[in-house]
Chain A
Amino acid sequence: MRRYGLRLSLVLAGVAILAALPTLGLPPYYVSLFTQVFILGIAAAALDLLVGQTGVVSFAHASFFGVGAYTVAILCTRYNVSSYVITLLAAAAMATAVAALFGLVALRAEGVGFLIITLALNQIVWGLAYQWVAVTGGENGITGFFRPPIGPFAASNVNYYLYALAAMLVSVAVMWVISHSPFGLVLLGIRERPRRMRALGYNIWSYQYAAFLLAALFAGLAGGLFAYYNAFASPADLALPLSTQMLIMVILGGAGTLFGPLLGAAILIFLSNTFSSLTERWPTILGIVYVAIVMYAPEGLLGIAQKRLLPSLNTWLRLRQRREVSAAKQSESPGDAA
């Protein structure tokens, strides 16, 4: 626990600052941008469970996100459900159900094969959203619903910001516990040495399947939150570009670090929104940034921090300790070792 003490206090401090930002005078436009970051951050962190922890890269993440978004939209417009708990649970459940089906198909393959199959599955869901007009409204999407009040509070932008922040915290906490549990360690093992894990008797397929389902569950939850945020669900919520964006968030921030994708989400959303107001060429700038990161810092920003900065700190601390210990030994009995 001592190892986590410093990190935990840093995280809590960060959360406190984020929660206080709106009252400190953050402009409403940035409040909405941050809300987007929190929501997409959940999805990106979930993808990281799959990509960073289990070593399985999937293009189908946006389909689960979008299924969650549509579930919320349909429940709100067609069935007039006004409880967050029910709709968000349903969103997560639907996404997991879809993943249960997809996982059976996709996990028969590995590596690039798996990637292509998940891409195809994502496109199937996207095509369905476009064509099944009776259910999804087709290209027009689903509008006409509002955010219900959050408990006793009105669902203002600021309150929803806090709600999304809380949801992100809870989700990431759960994901953190999972990733540091024995189950999570098995996933790490599968990423590093699948053959050895198999030899040790672990059923690789079922662990990968479980990770796939978990990632989809949180993606569906995030999608539901997103639908409430926009008061709108459309095929863009499950399109391939969104899948790619989420992968970029994971890589930018640092695959395997869980908090890295949150940082990645923040960078992606802020850069694309602020750059687009400065120049028409913003996709080019973003592209250059991505290429630079992948070429020179493939572990992502947080990855660099963890692997380069922290070990340097650790080594320095340890060197100091060793010096102190050897100094103490020398002062005790100078000639004993020989």
Chain B
Amino acid sequence: MRKGKWIALLLAAMLLLTACSTAGKPAGTQTPGQTVAPPTPFKLGLLIPLTGVFAAPGKYMQEGVQLLLQESDNKFAGRPVEVVTADSQGNPQAALTQARKLVEQDKVDAIIGPLSAAEGNALVQYLDGQQMPTVYPIVSSDDLTQRTIPKYIVRTGWTSSQTTMPFGEYAYKTLGYKKVATISYDFSFGWESVGGFVQTFQEAGGKVVKELWPPLNETNYQPYLSQIPKDVDAVFVSFSGSAAIQFVQQYKQFGLGKPLIAQGNTVDESTLQATGPSAVGVVTPLHYSAALDNPANKKFVADYEKAFGHGPAYYAEGSYVGAMVLKKALESLNGKSDDHAALVKAMKAVNLTDAPRGPVKMDEYGNPIQNVYIRKVEDVGGKLQNTVIYTYPNVSQFWSYDPKTFLAHPVFSRSYPTVK
């Protein structure tokens, strides 16, 4: 009987403690009495999943930003950077609540994040309404920089179809595949990845014989693999995280014997080692590879391994470049961040020549124009890597289409483009 009361008291104490600790955190830190006015710190909000399904890639995102801060001596344009990390838990509801905290309580100057497309979509209305300059380094929903462009969000990553549109052509013309089946997880990222591929593959003359859409949390892909016609030349897939590991391994075990091609993050470095030898030989497009052979990337990978003890993945490079864009924009404004519209404008005007992924230039819709690398998974010295075998330079989110014509079509979805 006594225990119950003690539990209640303990809980009350915890509540009081948390209330005090968060109330006690002032909006800005006080620097103890200095005679010279120090530059006001730049508060950076990092909205990433630290728990939940996306915790692992979320950690990479955090490390990417940490590495850039380390290299910049923790200063952007001479202002010390204060990072406030908020756990979006990978779901839109929590992301919204934490975004409110960052904007209204912590009063950050800019936000980097989140990770998933669902979170990204949920935050647009709120962040735009609050006029909070935001960098989306990973969220790749096509439409965010196509038909419904937010005013205060800058995308420094990619669109899902930006990489698969050139790949559709590559698969037909260079790899020589004429008939392909597609399998992808059943939500917007999968639809857009497959959509881009199907569009250009069909236009080049290829034939897509089947499209399969396993649900998001599927773990057994046998029923889908057995539906693939035996006369295809290759199978194009799009998965990520643990689903990618499962699928690639099961594909090999199934023994269809046909080459596997995929959207880039299916064999992203964050899951590649866990996927193991089943992944060798898989060809994918992406705007980055940890094995990219340019001086900036070599330095990035070396510094990353030294700081964190493991190699980077595209999530880390994504947030690294996102933070880079923010830093360059601030420098161009001499550190002034009060005018939010000006900061966003400066971010959209950034032109990076020394990003690990190569040159990055923003298009007028707020999406990067960058190289798309065709990579092949190879075993080099016992370790798997994405060796770059071909480069499409300066690819925009519209590939070779005129933007107006492209935008006149609906967004890639389960039913568009139609399979002929």
Contacts and interface: CB of A to CB of B under 8 A. Distances in A.
Nearest to A226: B93
Q: How extensive is the interface on chain B, given as a class?
A: 35 or more
A297 interface: yes
Contacts of A297: 3-4, 7-8
A292 B97 CA distance: 27
Contacts, number: 120
B121 A274 contact: no
A232 B96 contact: yes
Most chain B CB inside 10 Å of its own CB: which residue of A131, A231, A274, A283: A274
B101 A283 contact: no
Q: Give the secondary structure class of B's interface.
A: helix
Contact of B105 (A29, A127, A236): A29
Contact of A140 (B93, B96, B121): B121
A283 B51 contact: yes
Nearest to A305: B8
Interface string B1-27: 101111110110011001101100000
A139 interface: yes
A282 B51 contact: yes
Of A33, A139, A280, most buried by chain B (CB within 10 Å of CB) is A139
Given A283-B51, A308-B1, A236 B91 contact: yes
Contacts of A274: 18-19, 21-22
A138 B413 CA distance: 11
Interface stretch (B122-130, B265-273, B322-330): B122-130
Given A28-B104, A130-B215, A232-B125, A270 B15 contact: yes
Nearest to A289: B11
Interface in B379-420: 413-414
Interface in A88-134: 127, 130-131, 133
Contacts of B93: 230, 234, 236-237
B4 A234 contact: no
B180 to A, nearest CB: 24
Interface residues of A, number: 45
B21 A232 contact: no
B418 to A, nearest CB: 16
A143 interface: yes
Contacts of B7: 292-293, 296-297
B100 A277 contact: no
A141 interface: yes
B109 interface: no
A276 B216 CA distance: 26
A255 to B, nearest CB: 14
Contacts of A32: 97, 100, 104
Contact of B11 (A29, A236, A267, A275): A267
Contacts of A308: 1, 4-5
Contacts of B82: none
Contacts of A144: 125
B414 A133 contact: yes
A231 B99 CA distance: 14
Interface in B213-259: 215-216
B87 interface: yes
Interface of B: 1, 3-8, 10-11, 14-15, 18-19, 21-22, 50-51, 86-87, 89, 91-93, 96-98, 100-101, 104-105, 117-118, 121-122, 124-126, 141, 186-188, 215-216, 413-414
Interface of A: 27-30, 32-33, 36, 127, 130-131, 133, 138-141, 143-144, 230-232, 234, 236-237, 267, 270-271, 273-278, 280, 282-283, 289, 292-293, 296-297, 299, 301, 304-305, 308
Given A127-B215, A267-B11, 19 more contacts: A27-B104, A28-B104, A130-B186, A139-B117, A139-B118, A139-B187, A143-B121, A143-B122, A143-B124, A143-B125, A232-B96, A276-B87, A280-B50, A280-B51, A282-B51, A282-B87, A297-B3, A299-B4, A308-B1
The 9 closest A-B pairs by CB, nearest first: A29-B105, A139-B187, A274-B18, A297-B4, A296-B3, A29-B104, A28-B104, A276-B87, A304-B4
17 contacts: A127-B215, A131-B215, A133-B413, A140-B117, A234-B93, A236-B93, A271-B14, A271-B18, A273-B98, A280-B50, A282-B51, A282-B87, A296-B6, A299-B4, A301-B8, A304-B4, A308-B5
